[in-house]
Amino acid sequence: MNLEKKKLIIIGGGAAGFFTAANVDGEKYDIHILEQASDVLQKVKISGGGRCNVTHACFDPRELTSFYPRGNKELLSVFTKFQPGDTMGWFEERGVALKIEDDNRIFPESNSSSSIMNALADAVIANGTKVSTKQVVKKIEQQGEQWVITTSSEEFTADLVVFCTGSSPKSYQLLKPLDFKIVDLVPSLFTFNIKNKSIEGLMGTSFPNAWVKLPAQKKEESGPLLITHWGLSGPAVLKLSAWCARELFAMDYNFDVIVNFLGIDISVAEDILNQFKADNPKKSVGQSKIFDITNRFWNHLLDINNIDPQKQLGNISNKEVQQILESLCQNKMQVKGKSTFKDEFVTAGGVDLKEIDFKTMQSKKYPNFYLAGEVLNIDAVTGGFNFQACWSEAWLIAQDLNAK
């Protein structure tokens, strides 16, 4: 019976590779995962600070695609077949209890990525998948109806190949002889390096709902914002870095941003400040809790604007009010460089999406050659969306394989 099985080689032992193998019929296929590193599922392991941000609680496929700067049109049909609710169901059926956090990110209740890794490992063991690590693929060739995969140590033949190596530049070198069109890679999901008096010495200060605008791109994002050693981070910045990855790369990461730390219009902030001032004229400006910001940040802004914190609110001038409001709501800063967001490095670019049939994730050029995951020119903002694309694409591949 074993001789009748078709040989399936999956190149890449990450989220997409394991989820494909986990859902393929082991009675039909002899499944073999080749991973170049000494360990599998490394991105799953480190995601979400080691907790694994499995997916995101967004269950409407159309709304879900809005989190993908590249690939949103193509993913709509993919997500109608398998979306975050299906991902939750898949893991929960295998004994992994999941939880939705306040920001809609989804994690295992155990708060450990090992829960997700174990479920995937158990599923591939159950259908007889063989996993080989330290297999650096050197060449992929088509020979008649079969594929020959040459690694640093041996040669494998396969009837079908799933290519899901992530976005390593070496991966694209393997695809070039097969004449795949590759969109140049640029970083996505990065923090902004900024030296500015407004944020100097305030590392760790956060703002729950800031607005950050790129005036040159006419692009604005909102969300939590964090002051770091190097400048600004947090979802508001990371979303902008994803949406404008190519433009910011072209500008060599030198550009202006306008930061609204309060996340409210400057005219609304002015009304709030003036009302507080009218109600508390004798209160010192330094001890006034007018906005949802830390006392440390508030007093820092007073200091850089040369406003005496002991001054009574009733005595601050209109000019001083405007200085405070501009520092809070229209703070222009210059970005000079970027920093990678933790270890969860994501790139924009990869295999051109016109190469792929999104009904099956199969190459349009080569029957029985599938691609999934970050090797494609698809990427998302932070929050579990990149994994969801992997799960959904892998699911489609498995369904197509099982139907053959």
Q: What is the mean pLDDT of each run of 10 residues along the chain (404 residues)?
A: 82 98 98 97 94 98 97 98 98 98 97 98 97 97 97 96 94 96 94 97 97 97 96 95 96 98 98 97 96 97 97 96 98 94 72 98 97 97 95 98 96
- 117 lies in the same domain as 202: no
Residues 388 and 268 in one domain: no
| pLDDT for res 402 | 98
pLDDT value for 340? 76
Among 289, 315, 340, give the residue marking a domain's end: 340
Q: Are residues 336 and 348 in the same domain?
A: no
140 and 179 fall within a common domain: yes
Q: Are residues 24 and 146 in the same domain?
A: yes
- Based on the fold, state whether residues 307 and 352 are members of the same structural domain: no
Number of domains the chain contains:
2
For residues 201 and 174, membership in a common domain is answered with no
177 and 40 share one domain:
yes
Estimate the crossing angle of helix 113-126 against helix 42-50, to 10 degrees: 150
| CATH number for the domain harbouring residue 371 | 3.50.50.60
310, 340, 370 - which closes a domain: 340
Specify whether 268 is located in the same domain as 123: no
What predicted TM-score, i.e. pTM, was given to this entire model?
Answer: 0.90
Is the domain of 10 the same as that of 65? yes
Question: Which of 296, 323, 340 finishes a domain?
Answer: 340
Are 93 and 164 in a shared domain? yes
Residue 301, domain CATH: 1.10.8.50
Q: Are residues 348 and 332 in the same domain?
A: no
Its domain, for residue 283, covers 190-340
The whole-number pLDDT of residue 361 equals 98
pLDDT of residue 1: 46
